[in-house]
Amino acid sequence: MSTSSDSTQPTWSGDEPALTGGTFEIPFTASSDTSEGFETGGCSHLVAVFADAPAREALLNKYKSVIAWHARRIQDTSPPAKRRKVSAPTCGTCNLTLSRPFACLSCSFGGCWSDGHITNHLKEVSHSFCVDTKSGSVFCAECGDFIYHPTIDELYVSTVVLIEEQQTHFQTGKRTREPYQAWVPTNDECAALKDTTVLPCYGRRGLLNLGQTCFFNVILQSFIHNPLLRNYFLGDRHNTRLCKHTDCTCCEMDNLFSEVYSPNQTPFGPTSFLATTWKVSAEVSGYSQQDAHEFFITALNQIHGTCRGSTNISCICIVHQTFAGQLQSDVTCERCGNTTSTVDPMLDISLELKGKSGEVGAENTLAGCLRRFTKPEKLGAKEYSCSKCTKAHEAVKRLSILKLPPVLSFQFKRFEHKTVSKAIPQKIDTPVRFPASINMAPYTTLVMNSSGKDGASSYSGPEAMYDYDLFAVINHEGQMDNGHYTNYARLQDEWYRFDDEK
C-alpha cells in the first residue's frame, strides 16, 4: 500500500513491492484446517472465503499489506516538521482526512467509519470485508459486525512485530533488533509438562486492613499487578528456602505472590510483611497513618537491599531493572549559549499540579503535567553561574527523561503550604485526567533535543518503544491529617477496585 503527495485518496495495494520482497516475508502459520474448527462459532462468510485457496491468499495478502502500511506509518517519532511530506489518507466518499482509516479488503477504497462511508461502499459494490488499520479488526458486511478468526489475529501480531523489528535499530552501531521467535517446546519440555498438574491462578485477592494500613495494602496491590515483579517472584528468582538474609523483604514478596496466586481467594492479612517492614524501617512503623508514596520508596529500597544482584553501581536487581530511569537537566547560559547537562537517577516522577503562578494549571491531565515538567524554566543571575563565562548570568533550565524505565510511576504533588507560617499543609483536590495508555516520546531527551535543532536528524526508534499501558492507580480520599487509600488495578483486560475498608 502506498500514498503519494499528489493523491487525495488512499491506495491499498496488495502487491506493493516493499511487501513482497525478500525483506518482508510473513509466513501464514495457521493452516487451512484452522477455519474448519472455527466454522461453528465464527463468521461463516470468512470460512467460505478461506475454503477457496486463491481467495484466501488474496485476502490475507491484502490484510497484511494494510496492517504493514499502518505499522510503518506510526513508527516515526520525529517532529512533524521533519517528516517526509506525504499526504494523509482521505475518505473516498467525503474526502475528509482519516485519522483512523478503514480499508476495503477487496479493492483500494478507504473510508471513514463514523459517517458509514466504508460500510456503504461494501454494500454498494457487494464487497464483504473491511479492516480497521489501527487495531486490525475485520468487519463483515454480511454479518453486520466485527468478526474474529485466529488466522487473522496471528497475522496481525506477526506483521506488526516484523515491521517494528525492521525499523528498530540501536542508536550506536548497525545492529537491528533481534527477531522474535515463538517458543516451541522440545521433547524433554513436553515430557516434563505432561506430568504437571494445572492449578488455578487468579491473581486477584484482597488484603486485610491490619490497623490503618491502607497505605501499605495499596502499594502491595500495585506490586502484585506489576507484570515484571510478578514474573520475577513467580519464576522462583528468589527462593525463600535458600535465602540467607534476616528480615528479608524479597522473601516477604515471594510469600505474598504465593498467597495471592494460590487457590484460596479469601482476603489475606500480610502480617509477616508488615512486621518485617517495621523492623527494617522505623519511619513507617506503628499504627499511625502513613504516606503511601513514602512507603513505596521504602519498599523499593528494602527489596533492592535484599535482592540478588544488588550493587551500588550499575545495579541489576529487580527494582532497578523495573523502575530505574534517568532524568537529564540542561542549563543553558543566555549570554554565551553554553549548556551544562546533569544526569540523575530516578525511580518515579513527581509532577506539580500548579504552575509558577501558584494557580492550578488549566490542563489538568497527565500530559499537561508532563508538559509543565519539561517546560523550560528561567533562572535568575543569582541562581546560576556559568562555568564557561565564569560569571553569574540568567539561564534557562529544562528537564527531560534521558532513560525511560520499563515501569513508569508518577506521583502528583497534592499537598501545599498556604499559610504564612507554612506549618499547616493542605491538600489540592483538583482532579487529574489520565489515559489508559500514553506515549512518552515527546518528553524524552532524544526527541526534545532533535526537535530543537534545525536540520538535525537523530533516530528515536519506533513509537511502540515509548508506549505505556496503565495497570494500577492509587487514590487518596480525605485531608492531610486523615484519609483513606484505595487502589484500582488491571487484571488482564478487567479493572478491579481494592478497598480494605469494605
Catalytic residues: 214, 484
Cβ proximity of 77 and 172 under 8 Å: no
Nearest C-alpha neighbor of 99 from the set 63, 135, 134: 134
Query: How far is 413 from 347, CA to CA, in rounded Å?
Result: 16
Sheet containing strand 377-379, strands side by side: 339-346, 325-333, 395-403, 377-379
Query: How far is 87 from 4, CA to CA, in rounded Å?
Result: 7
CA torsion sign for 415, 416, 418, 419 is positive
Q: What is the helix (H) or strand (E) element at residue 496, kind and residue range?
A: strand 494-498
Q: What is the helix (H) or strand (E) element at residue 491, kind and residue range?
A: strand 483-491
Query: How far is 453 from 347, CA to CA, in rounded Å?
Result: 30
326 Rama class: left (phi>0) / alpha (psi -120 to 50) / beta: beta
Beta strands 410-413; 349-352: pairing state: parallel
Q: What is the helix (H) or strand (E) element at residue 193, kind and residue range?
A: helix 187-194
Query: How far is 354 from 349, CA to CA, in rounded Å?
Result: 15
Q: Output the nine-digit C-alpha cell for 452.
A: 530543537
Cell 495499596 found at = 218
Cell 491499498 found at = 12
Query: How far is 46 from 50, CA to CA, in rounded Å?
Result: 6
Cβ proximity of 330 and 398 under 8 Å: yes
Q: How far is CA 398 from CA 197, 331, 351, 440, 448, in A?
A: 55, 7, 14, 16, 10
Give the bridge partners for 104, in sequence order. 130
